[in-house]
Amino acid sequence: MVWSPEQLDQLSGAEELHISSHRRDGSLRRWTPIWVVRVDDDLYVRSAYGDQGAWYRYAMAGTARVRSGDLEMDATLERVADDSTNARVAEAYRAKYHDQPGALGPMLADTAAHTTARLTPTK
């Protein structure tokens, strides 16, 4: 499945989107605000705390739920391992969040870069 142009614009245009994940009983964990960037027609996220970020661990283990404004939908996260894509994602973070250097630094560090994940809608 792919994002519609409207979904891409809304999610990538948001300063932050909120992410949650499903518990075994189907209920949602608490919403966590995260940064999201767009590269071409894909959306990417990173965990500032690396693999230790709770939202990241839970979302990688199953299906995530993302929301921005009135848009809310399920998505999967697929870890990105190739250096070329990871470099483009880093550049997208620099371009979008350049005005927040204190918070941007951890998102560009190796710890976060190793968690780069593509968000893909499930429905």
pTM of the complete model: 0.95
Give pLDDT tens digits for 45-80.
999 999 999 999 999 998 899 999 999 999 999 999
CATH number for the domain including 101?
2.30.110.10
Residue type, 41: D
Query: What is the domain extent for residue 105?
Result: 5-121
Hey, what are 56's tokens? 């990241």
Give pLDDT tens digits for 6-27.
999 999 999 999 999 999 999 9
Domain count, the chain: 1
